[in-house]
Amino acid sequence: MLRLEYLFARFNHFLRSDDPELHHNAIAMLFDLGDIGSRGDIKSLLLKEFERQRYALNGLKSSQKVDQEALTQTLSEIDKAAQNINQSVGKPNAAITESEWLNAIRTRLNIPGGTSPIDLPSYHAWKNTSSTQRREMLEKYVAPLLPWHEACQIFLRLLRQSGEAKDVVAHQGAYQQAPSGKVYQLMRIAVEDDTLFSEISANKYLLSIRFLKIDQDKKPQTINKDVPFRLTLCQL
């Protein structure tokens, strides 16, 4: 789901542009989205997760601490997204894989300069059409995958909101915590210093985080100072 979210974010970023070279990048993202859409387990996975989320949220209907109107709206969103996925017929990536024009582009993408005008004149001609025409074609190919995008957004939003952030400190750049027998689906880390990134390992016994510093000319550098950050463990 995180990969699907990442790919759709990039695809939509390139799609919004009028630049034909960014629409070229959108086509590359389209192939990646199609590859995920070809997985037969995505549909059953999403429906299973929605059923689990629905069960968890239904248990809050009697709680006075919960905004019941917002809860009802969320359950309605889940039902609608699950219905849209159930109603989808065939493979969501069929429009992409069955297009001879797209397949010709994909074949040449991994060749250095393989999409040049001398190799793919029809593609060059397409890039010189109006931005509206190019955008409409890209939207046509991605349309069957949109129910997956909507479902992914709802699933990840609910999961992210399920956790409560707490302020912790990685002493000398390292932090460890025992899960205390709980099973978490997602861990979120927020750190103010944008030059830092984290390496994470986790199992049912121990969660381990180490912060490192970006160094473009060398290997990532370990941090030998305390790093305050916010940790959110998410579970539905």
Convert the pLDDT of each residue in 29-65 to its tens digit: 999 998 887 777 777 888 888 888 888 888 888 787 7
pLDDT digits (tens, 9 = 90+) for 137-147: 999 999 989 98
Q: Which of 112, 142, 158 is the last residue of a domain?
A: 158
By the 8 A CB rule, do 170 and 68 touch? no
Clarify whether residues 21 and 83 are in a common domain.
Answer: yes
- Report CA-CA distances (Å) from 75 to 46, 143, 145: 15, 24, 22
**Structure pTM?**
0.85
Alpha-carbon distance 108 to 116, whole Å? 9
In this structure, the answer to whether residues 90 and 174 fall within a common structural domain is no
Our count of domains for the chain comes to 2
Contact 227, 211 (CB under 8 A): yes
Per the CB < 8 A criterion, the answer to whether 216 and 147 are in contact is no
Q: Which residue range forms the structural domain that includes residue 219?
A: 163-234
CA distance to 149, 211, 219, per residue, from 155 (Å): 10, 28, 36
